[in-house]
Structures are given as structure tokens and as C-alpha cells.
A and B are shown apart, each in its own frame.
Chain A
């Protein structure tokens, strides 16, 4: 266990560390984007089962909204929710506020410009460019960039990159000012700030302006992978290493395993990129390298999961009583499934069958919603009552939110995984293409209903959120949540 400054009475007050309004604003914006992304996903799902009532309307084209779906979930929901959670956890962990509040608010606004610009660019860009002669002759496309997860139009990329730099500066200030060895969360966050910036720059600029062809494909694979592995994953795990010990009121089970987890991830994760493009003209020895390091990541992930499950050992009743903890550990189970799946599907044997199929789509949903969105929704379930000093209006709606999200997601992932196997065999058996599409229909129908269940879960959450907010506005009611205590290294010392 690392040696940290003792928690003393002079610990800074919560109000001096955390600007709760900014946390709240980020969370509410994030939830707005979550809704938008889910609606976009629904549109594409309805198109696949050939019941899209909006088919043929240019601005509602499922092709464009499919890109809005993924980009808004990554940059609108995940990034905003992460920024909100960081504004809570970083100052409370480091006992120092962020560099500057004005900078925080500036970043908040700038980032919304980035996300809205991305959405509007993808949807309106091609239309505007085709109809306004002055825009037609521009040397670049106003619409999507041809890079998966990086469809952010090229004209927004520089702004997004500047935003990421400011985020790093703002949060690195409290981290660098602290002395001595750092807690696990800070390792993950620090690395994430560096990696996110580098990843974004590499993926969005190199294949567009410098590299071509196969080598650009390698960078594209690296980008897809690093965006999940070096932006979302370290921020997610950093938050878990912070919130789980805080809520369970005990330290992590093994500091050694925390070290193995971080350094193993840092080394092996970035080496995986090319596994997204196996059997392409990318040199085979590089593909083998990516496969081997992907399997290595699975080993590392196992140590992290063991560490967290050993931590809750003895307090497992919290899974029933403590909703955020349940969200977190469900996410971790999905994480285990995802990574195990990953170690299998990255092998050339599996790839031959399931690449290009819905298996991959199921895998992506399992990661992005099943793991990271679950964690962030858990963090929101924990923080909204604290920010409003009001218990949830309805515990039952919280339960519905959890169960509809978790079960809906699980059904969707299972359904798409199975669909992928079927599609793979249809293709390999050289049946006419239409057969694979017809065979997918039942799976796509199930997917729509699973998605609707997930959406219904969020509706429960929004209703609960609104009622809780109304409750918090009523004066003179005992609302059950006190001012957050000054927090002195709860995460590392397990004291309260």
C-alpha cells in the first residue's frame, strides 16, 4: 500500500474542490446525447428490418445516422460523462481543484461545439455541399471523414484536438501539484490524457493527409482500437479504482495486481490495432503480432477483474443494496465476457468466420454500453443524489433502469453474436447473398426489441431524475443526503 499524506482536519472543503454545477451540466448533456444516439441506433435497426418509416428522406438517411449513432455515443455521451465524473473525482482525490474554473466552463462549451459540429456535419454536410455552389468547390468534404469512429468531419478535427489538450492541462494541474507516489486512479487518468491526445491526432490526421493505402489501414485499425483502449478504458478503470473503494469503504485487495493491470494494459493494449484488419494486405507478421498481444491483454484483464472481485469479497451484499456498486460490477462482468470474446475472436480461425458479421457489432455494444456506459450510469446514480442532496425519488425506477439496461444489452449482445455466426456460415457456404440477409432478419428483429428495452430503461431514469430534481427544489424537506464530507484519501485508506 502506498504511503500517502494522512487525512487531517485541514482537508479542503468539498465546495472548494468540486464545482457541482459543472458535474451536473456535463451529466445532463451526456444523457441528452445518449438519447440521441439511441434514437439513431433505432433508426438503423428499423431500416435493417425494412420498417423504416423515414426511408428516402435525405436528412434522415440511416447511413448518416449510423455514423451519428457511434460518434455521439463516443464523443457526446462517454466523453461528456467522463468529463463530469473527472470534475468530481480528480479534485477530491488530489485534494486540489482543477487549474481554472473558467477554463472548465470554456472546455464544456467548446466540446459541445465539437460534438454538435460532428453531428450536424455528418447529417447536413453532404446536403449543403451538394446544393450550395460555394461549398461544392471546397477542397474537403463537409460531411463524414472516411475513418471509423473518426467520422468527425475533417474541419472539426483541429478544434477537437485543441479541446483535448485543454482538458489535459486543466486536470493535470491538480495531479502534478501533488507530491509522492500516486494512487492507481491517477496513473490511469494521467496516461489517458496523453494517450487520448496522441490517438486522436494520429488517427484523424495521418490516414487523411500523410499515409495511404495499406499503411493507412494499419493506422486506422490502431485508431479504432486505441480510442476504446487508450481513451475510454483507462478513464473507465481509473474511475472504478476511485469509486469502488470509496463506496465499499475499503482499499483495493491487491496493490500489486493494480500495478500489473495498469502496466500490462499500457504495454499490450496499443499493440493490438491491426487485429481489426486481419487477412487484409497488411503484412502478415504484423497481424500475428497484434493477435498475440490481444491475447496478452486478456491475461492482464483477468488480473484486474480478480483484483476487483477480491475487493468486494466479504461485502458482496452491496451488490444487492448498493445500486452504483451493482452497475459497476455488472459492467465488470461484461468486461470479462468482452475481453474473453476478444481473445477468441482475434484468432485467425475465428476471424475467417465472424469478421464483417454482426458478431463484431454485438461485441462493440457489449463494450461501449455493457461496460463503460454501465459504469457511467452507475456513477450518475451515485452522484445525482449527492449533488442535489436528495435521495432518488423512486428506488423502484432505479431498479427498472438497471434491469432494463442490463438485460436489454445482454440480449442484444447475445443475439448479435449468434447472428454473426450464422452470417459467417452463410457466406462461407457460398449461398447467394440474399440468403444471409434473410437469415439475419429474425436476429435483427430481436435486436430492435432489445434496444427498445434499453431505451425504456433510460426513460425510467429520466422520469426518476426529473422527479428527484423537483423534490430537491422543495424547501424544508428532509431529503436524506448530507453535504459530501471532505474527502481525504478514502480511496487509499479505506477510512471515512
Chain B
């Protein structure tokens, strides 16, 4: 068997591969078979946090939003969310930002609750975006932590809000200036605001203040509070 063709092909080639597949892939698949996979529509329906951010985008950038999205409806939100996931994947965001919080290295203090299986059982985690590298912070608890404006400026040119950031600029998600996100820009902001928005303790990390809407009296500098938020302190 050890030096014969059938041994090498059937036992080592097929057999051992199948054994590994059984133990490493089929076991978790069977364990979670009763956990239904949520569609994007379902994700949006139950999620008022996300809808809040989505509507906020339509207020912050009314012209852009009307042109690229239309109404801030649930159907549009689901569609935009899928586009956002596509942008996130296509631009390689997931190679510098992970999407899981581990129970070690004091990550609970820094990011929020440790990740659970249910959080990944949905269409937008296909393939799952765990990530393997953190040049920038983990993003699985990012939603609601910062204002849409902060994200817009940050994607346009990260150093504007985070002075020494090595993150590349993404001006092609905008039409010339940070207050004019295009469809991809709106989609990526929506996607990032979705991350963690399903948690009860949303937004987990800091005292959440809604972004002031046009016409409101400014309730404090949005960007300043966002920068404070970057200094991660365990509370």
C-alpha cells in the first residue's frame, strides 16, 4: 500500500483528504445545521439601528442619496448592504480589518462582546469575513460607533480624521469631495454601520449621540467626539 499507486491515490490522496474534510468541515456544518441562514432582507427587517443609520445617510447627503439610492426603504437598504459587502470584499478591506472579537488579549474590553456563531449565519458572511490580519482595528463592533460623516471623511482621506493612519484613500467612492459619496461610498458606509448593529448593547462602546440633522442646532462637534472614541479605554 505505501508505495503502490492505489495506496497513494486512494488512501493518501482521497482517503486522508476525505477524513480531514469530515472532521474539519462536516462536523461544524452538522453542528450548526439547525441554525438558519438569514437573508439580507431579514437582517434589515429586524434591525432598527441599521435603518436609523441608513435614514441618517439620506438626511446627511440628500442629493447623493436620492440620485444613487432613492428612498431610504428597507428594500433599498438590503440592496445597498449587499453592494457594500461587495465593495468591502473587492477593495480588500478584510485584509487589514478582521471581523471577530476573541475571548483573549482583553479584546472584550477593547471591542465589545466576544463573537458568536449566530452572528455569522447570514448571507452577508458568504464567504465569512473573519479576516486574518489587523493593521487597522477589528470592525465587527464598528457600527454606530462613529457618525456617517466621520466614515465619509475617513474613506475619502483617512489622515483627515486619523492623522497618522496608514490606510489608503478611497476617493473613487466619492464625487470629488467627502460630502458627495457615490453609490459605492454610500454602500460601504452602510455596510460598516451594519457591523455589530444587531447587538442589544448597540452601540456597545461609547455614549452614543445621534448625528445632528440638517436644520438642527449642532449638539456638539461630531468629529471631535469621534476622535475621542478612538482612544480605547476600558470602562
Residue among A129, A144, A148, A175 making CB contact with B5, cutoff 8 Å: A175
A141 to B83, CA, bound (A): 9
Residue of B nearest to A50 (CB): B166
Please name all residues of chain A whose beta carbon is closer than 8 Å to the beta carbon of B94 when the two chains form the complex.
146
Residue of A nearest to B163 (CB): A434
Please name all residues of chain A whose beta carbon is closer than 8 Å to the beta carbon of B25 when the two chains form the complex.
202, 206, 211, 215, 218-219, 222
Chain B CB within 10 A, most for which of A186, A214, A220, A437: A214
Please name all residues of chain B whose beta carbon is closer than 8 Å to the beta carbon of A207 when the two chains form the complex.
126-128
Residue among B13, B17, B116, B168 making CB contact with A190, cutoff 8 Å: B13
Residue among B16, B135, B170 making CB contact with A266, cutoff 8 Å: B16
Whether A437 contacts B2 by the Cβ 8 Å rule is no
Whether A56 contacts B171 by the Cβ 8 Å rule is yes
Q: What would 21 A/B residue contacts be, using CB atoms closer than 8 Å?
A: A48-B135, A48-B166, A50-B166, A61-B91, A64-B92, A126-B90, A143-B89, A147-B127, A182-B8, A186-B8, A191-B13, A206-B25, A213-B37, A215-B29, A224-B132, A270-B16, A270-B24, A274-B24, A356-B132, A360-B133, A427-B110
Whether B130 contacts A49 by the Cβ 8 Å rule is no
Whether A281 contacts B117 by the Cβ 8 Å rule is yes
Residue among A212, A273, A286 making CB contact with B125, cutoff 8 Å: A212
Assess whether A130 is interfacial by the CB under 8 Å rule: yes
**Interface digits, A122-161 against B, CB 8 Å rule (1 contact, 0 not)?**
1001110110000000000101111110000000000000
Whether B132 contacts A360 by the Cβ 8 Å rule is yes
Assess whether B136 is interfacial by the CB under 8 Å rule: yes
**Interface digits, B1-18 against A, CB 8 Å rule (1 contact, 0 not)?**
011110011001110110
Whether B127 contacts A220 by the Cβ 8 Å rule is yes
Assess whether B27 is interfacial by the CB under 8 Å rule: yes
A429 to B137, CA, bound (A): 15
Please name all residues of chain B whose beta carbon is closer than 8 Å to the beta carbon of A236 when the two chains form the complex.
none
Q: Could you tell me the distance in whole angstroms from the C-beta of B10 to the nearest C-beta in chain A?
A: 9
Assess whether B134 is interfacial by the CB under 8 Å rule: yes
Residue of B nearest to A433 (CB): B137
Assess whether B231 is interfacial by the CB under 8 Å rule: yes
Whether B133 contacts A356 by the Cβ 8 Å rule is yes
Q: Which residues 193-232 of B have a CB within 8 angstroms of A?
A: 230-232
Whether A66 contacts B92 by the Cβ 8 Å rule is yes
| Band of interface residues on A | 35 or more
A266 to B91, CA, bound (A): 36
Residue of A nearest to B7 (CB): A187
Residue of B nearest to A219 (CB): B25
Q: Could you tell me the distance in whole angstroms from the C-beta of A17 to the nearest C-beta in chain B?
A: 20
Take A181-B4, A211-B29, A432-B231 as given contacts and tell me if A424 and B168 are in contact as well, using a CB distance cutoff of 8 Å: no
Q: Could you tell me the distance in whole angstroms from the C-beta of A254 to the nearest C-beta in chain B?
A: 14
Whether A191 contacts B8 by the Cβ 8 Å rule is yes
Whether B89 contacts A271 by the Cβ 8 Å rule is no
Q: Could you tell me the distance in whole angstroms from the C-beta of B205 to the nearest C-beta in chain A?
A: 13
Residue among B19, B90, B128, B131 making CB contact with A214, cutoff 8 Å: B128
Whether B27 contacts A286 by the Cβ 8 Å rule is yes
Whether A434 contacts B37 by the Cβ 8 Å rule is no
Assess whether A334 is interfacial by the CB under 8 Å rule: no
Q: Which residues 208-232 of A have a CB within 8 angstroms of B?
A: 208, 211-222, 224, 230
Assess whether A106 is interfacial by the CB under 8 Å rule: no
Residue among A279, A432, A438 making CB contact with B230, cutoff 8 Å: A432
Whether A181 contacts B3 by the Cβ 8 Å rule is yes
Whether A215 contacts B13 by the Cβ 8 Å rule is no
Assess whether B172 is interfacial by the CB under 8 Å rule: yes
Please name all residues of chain B whose beta carbon is closer than 8 Å to the beta carbon of A212 when the two chains form the complex.
37, 120-123, 125-126, 128
**Interface digits, A163-192 against B, CB 8 Å rule (1 contact, 0 not)?**
000000000000110000110001100110
Q: Could you tell me the distance in whole angstroms from the C-beta of A326 to the nearest C-beta in chain B?
A: 31
Take A141-B90, A281-B120 as given contacts and tell me if A433 and B230 are in contact as well, using a CB distance cutoff of 8 Å: yes
Q: Could you tell me the distance in whole angstroms from the C-beta of B9 to the nearest C-beta in chain A?
A: 6
Please name all residues of chain B whose beta carbon is closer than 8 Å to the beta carbon of A270 when the two chains form the complex.
16-17, 19-21, 24
Q: Which residues 106-158 of B have a CB within 8 angstroms of A?
A: 106-107, 109-110, 115-117, 119-123, 125-137, 157
Q: Could you tell me the distance in whole angstroms from the C-beta of A286 to the nearest C-beta in chain B?
A: 6
Known: A129-B86, A230-B17, A433-B136. 14 other contacts (CB 8 A): A56-B168, A63-B92, A64-B92, A191-B9, A213-B128, A215-B31, A218-B24, A220-B127, A271-B23, A356-B98, A361-B133, A427-B105, A432-B232, A433-B232
Q: Could you tell me the distance in whole angstroms from the C-beta of A404 to the nearest C-beta in chain B?
A: 27
Take A146-B94, A220-B127, A432-B232 as given contacts and tell me if A289 and B12 are in contact as well, using a CB distance cutoff of 8 Å: no
Residue among B90, B102, B129, B168 making CB contact with A279, cutoff 8 Å: B102
Please name all residues of chain B whose beta carbon is closer than 8 Å to the beta carbon of A35 when the two chains form the complex.
none
A277 to B132, CA, bound (A): 8
**Interface digits, A98-129 against B, CB 8 Å rule (1 contact, 0 not)?**
00000000000000000000000010011101
Q: Could you tell me the distance in whole angstroms from the C-beta of B183 to the nearest C-beta in chain A?
A: 7
Residue of A nearest to B2 (CB): A259
Whether B32 contacts A55 by the Cβ 8 Å rule is no
